[in-house]
């Protein structure tokens, strides 16, 4: 259950990342159109993912601990995502 | 400073104005700035002045999430004990009946898999407390190593070390307050919280540090706000003591007794009379009928062996934020009493604040996530301080030696690498010396000596070797310690099977990860430094060209 909620949080964060204004401008032309057109829907699906992840955690831990554990779990998951999506190597010329 | 001020300015017509400027200098300085700029100034300077202390608090506090595991690692002989809680309770209650029969209260911390020793203490009839560590199987007094274990880190994070407790805690409160100010001013300063949420540009000098500082701060912001606010709220009685003094003029600390439990003895006006109370073992049978084989955390007996006796059993597992794990209370005759826990709104709030800060509810995976957030807090503070230093070096248009920047650089190293080196030295010392009640605590000596040496080394090292030298030492210790630990455990025949070794291996693995992290920093610090140096050179060249033009 924890694994699924972590996965859903990761997917949600990734969707938010892809639909962010900065990423839309960087995306390929074909993707750009899609992202621009469905920006709201993608954001909504991201929040649905968060909601499901939160519900799973609430089922496991109870409401209060479940709520806290969601944002505590979201921190390392998002940090991993940030490390994955950004270029971390030095551009040696 | 004030003498110098008086010598240079005393008697001059504008002396008063200068003093006002000095004291409220920042206010005057901020008059022409916007809110965001003022907040940035506040964020930078409060962060700088308290940053090193906050880093130490955060790192020690983060380690405290695993203090029981560190305790066990530092007392390896305890890993040999096989625990049966029924036997542990029986032997401990026999000991108390024999040695503390007249006590006002008993408290038994029952041995469990994380702490395989019975810890008991009792309030003597003549006043004062006594405590013992008992073998959970035989009830014999144990002469354990006097190591403070993980409790040293835990205590350091809320009261420092070597200072009077009150002063130490007040300093921590001030630091927590400043942290809260730095967090709020940081939020106001950061213009693009959502736009730059996922942005991390590396090898771009100042920009990279700022990105990393922003990412680490924003991602764990709810954690930072919660942990700082609850940390500050726990010690409310230090900086807002008047309420308690007014309600409990004779003994303000009675508040803590009343906030935990409802006083059953208020119904008994007469003094307690000696009588034979129901034995703890008999009551344990009743507890088992209700809870099954649930592990127990503690047994608390008030007024033992009297007609006012109350015996409370508490479960070990606690999945609540408000610390309300299941408990059963009996009277002297074995009758189950109504709930004795104080469940008023204030008591629940108080327990909630504690619970949120200590995260006792957190199961292993969640605890690890808390630990990661704590580490992110350390990284946030470190990147903020490094950014402060780099930004000013880039802005400085002169190549002259600047003592302020030199000092900040060295203190940064002594805090960010020196403190972890000190913590590893503390662990290493544990494997070299056996501490008893009568010998000095060489582990703590090792901790402070290593920290001091790191600072000293930083002062005498050239800037280009500063990071590399200390990271190398850190990596070396982090790599050597797990290897040495394995040899030590084999030599002392402390490993009987894999599950037994796991108690040590989990910490050793973490140290190994630290060593890998040190290797990563060691390999990547040079290009980062080169990029920064290049940027500073370019700025200086531009400044020189402007002067020439």
* Residue-wise DSSP of B401-462: --HHHHHHHHHHHIIIIIHHHHHHHHHHHHHH----SSS--HHHHHHHHHHHHHHHHHHTS-
Chain B residues inside the 8 Å CB shell of A88:
200, 202
Greatest distance between any 2 Cα atoms in chain B: 99
Q: How far apart are CA B446 and CA B220, in angstroms?
A: 33
Instruction: Check CB contact of B523 with chain A, cutoff 8 Å.
Output: no
- Can you give the pLDDT at residue B171? 95
What is the DSSP secondary structure assignment for residue B274, as one 8-state letter? B
Domains in chain A: boundaries? 2-85
Nearest CB among B198, B202, B356 relative to A88 is that of B202
Among B253-267, B369-383, B517-531, which stretch is predicted with the lowest mean pLDDT?
Answer: B253-267
What are the beta bridge partners of residue B107?
A: B121, B300
Q: How far is B373 from chain A (nearest CA, A)?
A: 7
Query: From the CB of residue B388, how many other CB atoms can be counted at a distance below 10 Å?
Result: 21
ipTM entry: 0.91
Mean of per-residue pLDDT scores for chain B: 87
Nearest CB among A64, A74, A87 relative to B321 is that of A64
pLDDT tens for B279-307 read 898 999 999 999 888 899 999 998 898 88
Judge contact between B236 and B163, C-beta under 8 A: no
Judge contact between B15 and B9, C-beta under 8 A: yes
Contact flag A75-B220 (C-beta cutoff 8 Å)? yes
Contact flag B319-A61 (C-beta cutoff 8 Å)? yes
Question: Which residue would you say has higher pLDDT here, B509 or B324?
Answer: B509
Q: Is the pLDDT of residue B266 over 60?
A: no
- Can you give the pLDDT at residue B31? 61
Nearest to B428 by CA among B350, B375, B478, B481: B481
Site of tokens 């190293």:
B413
pLDDT tens for B443-462 read 999 999 999 999 999 999 98
Instruction: Check CB contact of A93 with chain B, cutoff 8 Å.
Output: no
Question: Residue B468 burial by CB count (10 A; 0-12/13-18/19+): exposed, middle or buried?
Answer: middle
pTM of the predicted model, to two decimals? 0.89
Instruction: Check CB contact of B201 with chain A, cutoff 8 Å.
Output: yes
Question: Which residue would you say has higher pLDDT here, B446 or B5?
Answer: B446
Q: How far is B331 from chain A (nearest CA, A)?
A: 32
Instruction: Report, as an integer, the average pLDDT of B361-381.
Output: 93
Contact flag A72-B223 (C-beta cutoff 8 Å)? yes
Most confident of A64-68, B254-258, B437-441: A64-68
Judge contact between B435 and B441, C-beta under 8 A: yes
Instruction: Check CB contact of A88 with chain B, cutoff 8 Å.
Output: yes
Contact flag B199-A22 (C-beta cutoff 8 Å)? yes
Question: Which residue would you say has higher pLDDT here, B501 or B427?
Answer: B427
Q: How far is A2 from chain B (nearest CA, A)?
A: 8
Chain A residues inside the 8 Å CB shell of B372:
75-76, 79
Instruction: Check CB contact of A28 with chain B, cutoff 8 Å.
Output: no
């Amino acid at each position: 259950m924890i694994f699924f909620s972590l996965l859903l949080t990761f997917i949600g964060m990734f969707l938010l990342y892809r639909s962010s204004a900065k990423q839309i401008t960087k995306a390929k032309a074909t993707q750009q159109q899609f992202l621009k057109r469905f920006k709201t829907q993608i954001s909504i699906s991201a929040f649905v993912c968060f909601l499901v992840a939160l519900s799973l955690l609430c089922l496991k831990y109870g409401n209060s601990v479940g709520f806290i554990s969601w944002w505590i779990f979201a921190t390392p998951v998002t940090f991993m995502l940030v490390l994955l999506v950004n270029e971390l190597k030095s551009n040696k010329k | 400073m004030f003498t110098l001020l008086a010598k240079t300015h005393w008697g001059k017509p504008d002396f008063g104005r200068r003093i006002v400027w000095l004291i409220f200098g920042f206010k005057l300085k901020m008059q022409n700035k916007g809110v965001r700029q003022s907040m940035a100034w506040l964020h930078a300077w409060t962060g700088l002045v308290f940053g090193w202390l906050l880093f130490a608090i955060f790192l020690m506090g983060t380690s405290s999430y695993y203090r029981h595991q560190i305790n066990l690692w530092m007392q390896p002989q305890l890993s040999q004990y096989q625990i049966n809680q029924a036997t542990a309770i029986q032997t401990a209650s026999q000991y108390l009946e024999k040695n503390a029969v007249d006590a006002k209260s008993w408290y038994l911390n029952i041995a469990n898999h994380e702490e395989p020793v019975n810890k008991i203490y009792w309030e003597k009839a003549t006043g004062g407390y006594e405590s013992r560590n008992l073998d959970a199987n035989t009830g014999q007094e144990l002469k354990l190593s006097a190591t403070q274990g993980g409790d040293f880190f835990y205590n350091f994070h809320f009261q420092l070390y070597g200072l009077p407790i009150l002063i130490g805690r007040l300093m921590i409160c001030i630091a927590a307050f400043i942290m809260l100010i730095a967090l709020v001013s940081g939020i106001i300063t950061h213009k693009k919280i959502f736009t730059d949420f996922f942005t991390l540009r590396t090898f771009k000098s100042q920009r990279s540090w700022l990105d990393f500082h922003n990412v680490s701060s924003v991602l764990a912001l709810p954690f930072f706000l919660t942990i700082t606010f609850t940390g500050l709220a726990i010690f409310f009685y230090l900086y807002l003591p008047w309420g308690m003094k007014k309600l409990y003029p004779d003994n303000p600390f009675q508040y803590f007794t009343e906030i935990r439990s409802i006083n059953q003895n208020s119904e008994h006006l007469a003094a307690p009379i000696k009588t034979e109370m129901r034995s703890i073992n008999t009551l344990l049978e009743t507890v088992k009928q209700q809870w099954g084989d649930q592990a127990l955390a503690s047994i608390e007996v008030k007024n033992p062996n009297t007609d006012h006796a109350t015996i409370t059993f508490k479960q070990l597992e606690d999945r609540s934020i408000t610390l309300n794990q299941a408990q059963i209370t009996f009277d002297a005759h074995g009758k189950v009493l109504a709930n004795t826990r104080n469940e008023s709104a204030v008591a629940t709030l108080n327990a909630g604040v504690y619970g949120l800060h200590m995260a006792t509810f957190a199961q292993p995976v969640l605890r690890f996530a808390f630990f990661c957030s704590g580490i992110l807090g350390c990284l946030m503070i470190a990147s903020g301080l490094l950014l402060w230093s780099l930004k000013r070096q880039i802005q400085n248009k002169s190549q002259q030696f600047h003592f302020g920047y030199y000092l900040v650089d060295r203190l940064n190293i002594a805090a960010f690498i020196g403190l972890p080196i000190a913590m590893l030295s503390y662990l290493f010392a544990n494997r070299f010396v056996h501490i008893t009640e009568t010998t000095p605590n060489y582990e703590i000596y090792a901790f402070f000596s290593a920290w001091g040496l790191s600072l000293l080394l930083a002062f005498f090292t050239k800037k280009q070797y500063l990071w590399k030298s200390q990271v190398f030492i850190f990596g070396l210790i982090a790599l050597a310690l797990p290897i040495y630990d394995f040899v030590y455990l084999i030599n002392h025949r402390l490993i009987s099977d894999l599950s037994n070794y796991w108690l040590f291996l989990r910490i050793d693995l973490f140290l190994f990860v630290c060593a890998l992290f040190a290797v990563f920093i060691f390999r990547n610090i040079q290009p980062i430094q080169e990029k920064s140096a290049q940027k500073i050179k370019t700025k200086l060249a531009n400044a020189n060209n402007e002067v020439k033009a």
